[in-house]
Structure 1
Amino acid sequence: MSDQREAVVVRRAEHADVDGLVECSGALFAEDAGTRDSSINIDWPREHGPQRFASGIDDPNRLLLVAGYEGKVVGHLVGALGGPSAMRPVKVATLVSMYVHPGFRRSQIGGRLVAEFFSWAKDAGATAAEVTAYSSNAEAMKFYERNGFAPQSVTLQTSL
């Protein structure tokens, strides 16, 4: 696993990575939202991902990273900048989505993706970073806390 981990390259996504981003995003939706939130369209990555990822690659307010291994995308991170605004007068970087293929987890790839996200956010002038995770996804919550995030608010929801 050590050789495999060291061979994984974390870098900015290119247009040639869009199919890999769609595949990773589809896996994230199936594994996470698809098992935790019946209101989510789990086909979103296939239906809308190609256009969304392609436009995000060239957007200076978005960050698309891939973790590549032997020419295949085995992980991704999407970040976005927001603000400042009158209500929240700071620039905030949001970690929109992140996924690492199960065979590559627990090998610091997620931490490398988050470190690149933090570096990009600081360079862009953000003074805060945030991420949303399903409260029932204990592993994700632990991961984000290990990487410097702390709970700040809770969203409560009910079906109507």
Structure 2
Amino acid sequence: MSDLHIRPADAGDLPEIVAMLADDPLGATRESPDDLTPYLRALERLADDPNQYQVVAERDGRVVGTLQLTVIAGISRRGATRSVIEGVRVHADERGSGLGTRLIQWAIDESGRQGCQLVQLTSDATRTDAQRFYERLGFTASHVGFKMSLEGGS
């Protein structure tokens, strides 16, 4: 995998990123690859925040993976800084190649460089393969997550 390059995402990467986000039963119901406008606004917000990292994995000029890493300062755990990994996706023809492991290892390494004491992520309860993958990488299913959708929220 020496030909793999992990770099910050840019607006030109959005079609590939959104296509990967939409390429599963869950993503197909919540993503809109035909209208990139909201994704462009989101990418601009991420780029303006020094605690946000939206990255892509690129091989031979082709985007083949992506993830978002957020660094969060906190008071709990004796003032620990933590990171959150979100939106991990690997292109369908790259699954099983070790690319997901490389992306997660990049996020763990970057978290360490940012002084984080904890790396966390969530995975939808229906994504059993992803859960096994994260456990193989050393993550522990330690919490129950809750979400609330805010329709029209800004």
TM-score normalised over the length of structure 2? 0.80
Partner of 1:107: 97
Q: Where do 1:21-36 residues align within 5 Å? A: 21-34=14-27
In the TM superposition, structure 1's runs of 4+ consecutive aligned residues that sit over 4 Å from their partners are none
Alpha-carbon distance in structure 2 between the residues aligned to 1:93 and 1:50: 23
Q: CA deviation at 1:74?
A: 1.0
Deviates more, 1:123-132 or 1:57-66: 57-66
* Structure 1 residue identity aligned to 2:8: A
In structure 1, runs of 5+ residues without a counterpart are: none
Change (3 A) 1:141 1:70: same
Instruction: Return the structure number with greater relative CO, CA threshold 8 A, min gap 6.
Output: 1
Structure 2 residue runs of 5 or longer lacking an equivalent are 149-154
Shift in Å at residue 152 of structure 1?
1.1
**1:46-65 alignment runs, 5 A limit:** 46-57=36-47, 59-65=49-55
CA distance in 2, matches of 1:131, 1:86: 17
**Equivalent residue for 1:13?**
8
- Superposition pairs for residues 1-160 of structure 1, below 5 Å? 5-7=1-3, 9-15=4-10, 18-34=11-27, 41-43=30-32, 46-57=36-47, 59-85=49-75, 89-155=79-145
Supply the distance in 2 between the matched residues of 1:134 and 1:74 (Cα, whole angstroms): 21
- Aligned letter for 1:10? H
Identity over the aligned pairs, expressed in percent?
A: 23
- Cα RMSD (Å): 2.7
Tell me the SS of whatever aligns to 1:97: strand
